[in-house]
């Protein structure tokens, strides 16, 4: 058993995808490379989850309001037309005030470097991120390319109009 498998078992038994999962799409293949032997492959905790958990490769302490790019020891090759969004874990956010700073972070199809997760401690106490701990979730999404066209005339009107920040209430 590899080190990464031992670490995963320490935290939780991982749900494996089954033929009974409901999906209308073929799985998108994301090529993944371990940059460190102990790096843990992203895992879906439950059948039907949108996000796959990604794990810390290092142990570190985040003081209140401190941010850090946490190594995962993984790099990916995402097919053209897709991105991976890096999103916070709700339990870390609720219980400890730990969140992903640039939510959602985007991993573009052309990026081949190590995936790092920028965590910030918005809580009032120090928080220790343990090696092998779930720190974020990865959601694969389709990317639509658009063409921006500058116009001289006014934009068409809408019910919302120019109402922005706080326009519908707090």
Give the chain's radius of gyration (CA, Å): 19
Mean pLDDT, rounded, of the chain: 88
Per-residue HEC secondary structure of the chain comes to: CCHHHHHHHHHCCCCCCCCCCCCCCCCCCCEEEECCCCCCCCECCCCCCCCEEEECCCCEEECCCCEEEEECCEEEECCCCEEEEEECCHHHHHHHCEEECCCCEEECCCCCCCCEEEEEECCCCCEEECCCCEEEEEEEEECCCCCCCCCCCCCCCCCCCCCCCCECEC
pLDDT tens digits, one per residue of 91-114: 999 999 999 999 999 999 999 999
* The predicted structure's pLDDT at residue 162: 83
**Burial level of 67, CB count in 10 A (0-12/13-18/19+)?**
middle
Quick one: tokens of 22?
A: 């409901």
Which domains are seen in the chain, by residue range? Answer: 3-142 (2.70.40.10)
Residue length, the chain?
Answer: 170
Which positions of the chain have pLDDT values less than 50?
7-8, 10-15, 19
Of the candidates 44, 40, 42, the one whose C-alpha atom is nearest the C-alpha of residue 18 is 44
């Amino acid at each position: 058993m590899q080190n990464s498998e031992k670490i995963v078992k320490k935290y939780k038994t991982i749900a494996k995808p089954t033929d009974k999962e409901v999906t209308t799409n073929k799985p998108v293949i994301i090529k993944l490379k371990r940059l460190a032997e102990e790096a843990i492959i992203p895992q879906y905790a439950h059948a039907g989850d949108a996000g796959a958990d990604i794990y810390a490769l290092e142990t570190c302490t985040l003081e209140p309001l401190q941010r850090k790019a946490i190594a995962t020891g993984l790099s990916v090759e995402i097919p053209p037309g897709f991105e991976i969004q890096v999103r916070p874990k709700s339990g870390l956010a609720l219980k400890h005030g730990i969140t992903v700073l640039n939510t959602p972070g985007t991993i573009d199809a052309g990026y081949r470097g190590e995936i790092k997760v920028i965590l910030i401690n918005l809580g009032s106490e120090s928080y220790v991120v343990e090696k092998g701990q779930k720190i974020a979730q990865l959601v694969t999404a389709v990317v639509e390319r658009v063409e921006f066209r500058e116009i001289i005339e006014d934009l068409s009107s809408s019910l919302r109009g120019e109402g922005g920040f706080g326009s519908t209430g707090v």
